[in-house]
Amino acid sequence: MKKILFLFLSVSFLMACQNSGKQAGTSEQEVVAVSVDSILSNPAVFADQSVVVSGMVAHVCTHGGQKLFLVSSNPEKYLRINTGKSIPEFPIALEGSTIEVKGVVSKFVEEGETEPAMEESQTDTTSKEHAYHKDNVYVIVADSYTEKTN
């Protein structure tokens, strides 16, 4: 009996470990310091680049803290930051703080969606939420962030 249980546990763990080797190799890339406005004005230029960007956090997603939005000089545009593999979540307490984010500018593709903002508008129905998600064709997938003193 013990052998069976041991065998079962071992097989389960081995199966679970199969997808562990899929790590994106971005550590060798040069990191470019950019402003929120410059990314928003022409995000395609920075596509797949590692960047460092600073800004004030306007909003942290309350559905799990997997994304936040940085304020730009255009009140209608926000830069969306997604958590990367090394960041479990963005705490709500970051709202109103200035943070420095290091990450990769990535084209935002939600699985099964052709329009990036569509899924968000269905779950976050307030007009303010809609404003945050507007035009988020490119996002920064954050590797790390630090909170600056306000």
Partner 1 sequence: MNWRKINRVIHRDLGYFFFGMSIIYGVSGIVLNHRSPRGDASTIRRSESFTVEAPIKKEAVDKSYVLSLLAGLNETDFKQYYFPSENEVMIYLTGGHVSLLLNTGEGSIVKVRNRPVFREFNFLHYNKPKQLWTWFSDFFAGSLVLMAFTGLFILKGKNGIKYRGAILSIAGILVPLAFLFLYLWTY
Q: Mask 119-138, x = binds partner 1 (CB under 8 A)?
A: ----xxxx-xx-x-------
DSSP state of 22: -
Nearest to 102 by CA among 36, 48, 148, 146: 146
Determine which residue in the list 48, 89, 110, 115 makes contact with partner 1, applying CB under 8 A.
Answer: 89
Q: Total residues at the site for partner 1 (CB under 8 A)?
A: 37
Identify which range of 38-46, 57-65, 106-114, 137-145 contacts partner 1 by CB under 8 A. 57-65
Question: Between residues 46 and 78, which has the closer beta carbon with respect to partner 1?
Answer: 78
DSSP states along 70-134: EE-SSTT-EEEEEE-TT-----GGGTT-EEEEEEEEEE---TT-SSHHHHHHHH--SHHHHHHHT
Total residues found in the chain within this entry: 150
Region 24-53 residues binding partner 1, contact defined as CB under 8 A: none
Q: Strand 67-71 vs strand 50-60: parallel, antiparallel, or unpaired? A: antiparallel
Distance CA 14, CA 93 (A): 38
Residue 98 interacts with partner 1 (CB under 8 A)? Answer: yes
5 binds partner 1 (CB under 8 A): yes
Residues that bind partner 1 (CB under 8 A): 1, 4-5, 8, 12-13, 15-17, 20, 56, 58, 62-66, 71, 75-76, 85, 88-89, 92-93, 95-98, 123-126, 128-129, 131, 150
